[in-house]
Structure 1
Amino acid sequence: MEGMEEKKSKVILHGMWASTYSKRVEIALKLKGISYEYVEEDLKNKTESLIQLNPVHKKIPLLVHDGKPVAEPLVILDYIDETWKNSPPFYPEDPYERAQVRFWVSYINQQVFEVMGRVMLQEGEAQTKSVKEARERFEVLEDGLKKHFPNKTIRGNDDVGLLDIIIIASFGVHKAIHEAIGVETIDPLNTPTLYNWIERLQQLPVIKEVQVPHDRLVTFLQKYRQEHLQQAAKA
């Protein structure tokens, strides 16, 4: 009966093709084998559905399950994992291992992702300072991955959990960022664990399904950066 109910459920994802936050949810849905309808949002002209269903933040991604909206990326990922309990589970069974996953996901979101946003949208001395800070934070992440996940294997979908989703969605585009702005923060020499982690995830068919074309993303990032710098210059 439970399986029949899941098959009948309707899932809609409001997202944006270049958003790493949207990619997190897309990957999660694909991993769980959940069929869904995708609504591409123009962030400068959002649909009425998005605004009405997410009145607090009016942001993507937004998951709508049988008419019920669920907002905020991590909240959505937990909702997916708790609603569809089939493999793969997004968290390990061991409480300490779960705590480590939550800690490093939080570190990526609050520390690494934040500084990378500054690197993307700055220039000159400000960017140089942020690049140095970003590399320091990536080194901390590198050490954390080596220390707390020394036996990590990635052979198939069952090896992919929440931390993997966050890593590949956030940093799987690092080569496009490097080409777009000329700054490299993840490489085999300085962050080999993280670099290889990303490379192994990118070989999985489920990840390839949602990957954005490299050239299209580079063009988008260059345009986005240029528009931001022009607006900042006028302010």
Structure 2
Amino acid sequence: MASVTLLTVWASPFSMRAKLALLLKGIEHEDLPQDLGNKSKLLLESNPVHKKIPVLIHKGKPVPESVIIVQYIDEVWPETSPLLPQDAFLRAKHRFWTDFIDKKIFDSLARFMRSSDGGAAVNEEFIQNCMLLEGALAELGSEEDGPFFGGASMSFLDVMLAPYSVLIPGVEQVMGLKPASPEQCPRLHKLFGAVAEHPSAKAALPQIEKLKEFIQARFARK
């Protein structure tokens, strides 16, 4: 096994985060795709509590959970492409909005995908959550500094959000999600556009067409 190994599932936004952080840092690693319908002994031993992906294994030591993995990567390899800000207050802000993404953006999107009534109410909730995130972009940095939360370069919070640049249009095109418009969230749209053009993100995130096939097979309403 390589000194850095990632237990992953390609369609998981949480796996995408870990993969993107590794690529941004230029860390050589091995991807070990996992079958969650038949979990491997390595996965069960590496994450015995939650039994979920992703898991980063570094020098034989497992680190589970995407947020923890990305923080670990940033701490162990601080020299290249630092992700978390140096300022303690800004670091706290990045962690706050990461928690918001996981508890509000992901949750409302997941509930829309599982809804049996078309999801109009939860769709509106999703838009409102995106508009709050738009406010965070304005709060944490000037548009003149660049499209990302980190300005011209991707930061910790950008890594947390990047998978939604493919997940949202995938759900929109397959399941009829109405995302926040460019008028409602202009900076968020610019951020997603910049993610789509970023070399590391291109390598870490799946093509939307491939993701659409997965969503269609797994979640599309009958």
Q: Aligned partners of 1:56 and 1:194: how far apart in 2?
A: 35
Secondary structure at 1:173 match in 2:
helix
Deviation for aligned residue 1:197: 0.7
Contact 1:88/1:158 (CA < 8 Å) preserved in 2? Answer: no
Partners in 1 of 2:151 and 2:141 — Cα distance?
Answer: 17
Q: Aligned partners of 1:157 and 1:189: how far apart in 2?
A: 21
Matches within 5 A, 1:86-97: 86-97=79-90
Structure 1 gap ranges (5+): 1-8, 231-235
Partner of 1:214: 208
2:59 matches 1:66: yes
User: Whose helix fraction is larger, Structure 1's or Structure 2's?
Assistant: 1
Relative distance call for 1:184 and 1:114 in structure 2 (3 A) is same
Q: 1:154–1:201: 8 Å Cα contact kept in structure 2?
A: no
Q: In percent, how many aligned pairs have the same letter?
A: 31
CA deviations 1:48-101 (Å, max 9, x no partner) are: 110111111110000101111111111111111111112211111122222221
Task: Give 3-state SS (helix, strand or coil) of 1:60's partner.
Answer: coil
CA gap of 1:187–1:13, structure 2 versus 1, over 3 A, is same
Describe the superposition over 1:131-167 as per-residue Cα deviations: whole angstroms up to 9, x where unpaired: 1111111111112212332244159997111111011
Query: Which residue is equivalent to 1:150?
Result: 142
1:168-215 C-alpha deviation (Å, 9 max, x unpaired): 123333211111101121432221110111101221111111221222
After TM superposition, the structure 1 stretch with the greater mean CA deviation from structure 2, 64-73 or 139-148, is: 139-148
Q: Residues 166 and 206 of structure 2 are in contact (CA less than 8 Å); yes or no, is this contact kept in structure 1?
A: no
What SS does the corresponding residue of 2:163 show, helix, strand or coil?
helix
- Counterpart position of 2:162: 168
1:203 partnered with 2:184: no
Q: Which residue of 2 aligns with 1:116?
A: 109
**Does the CA-based 8 Å contact 1:157-1:204 persist in structure 2?**
no
Structure 2 residue 187 is the aligned partner of structure 1 residue 193? yes
TM-score by length of 1: 0.87
Q: What residue is the counterpart of 1:132 in the other structure?
A: 124
CA separation of 1:157 and 1:150: change in aligned 2, threshold 3 A: closer
Q: Which has more radius of gyration?
A: 1
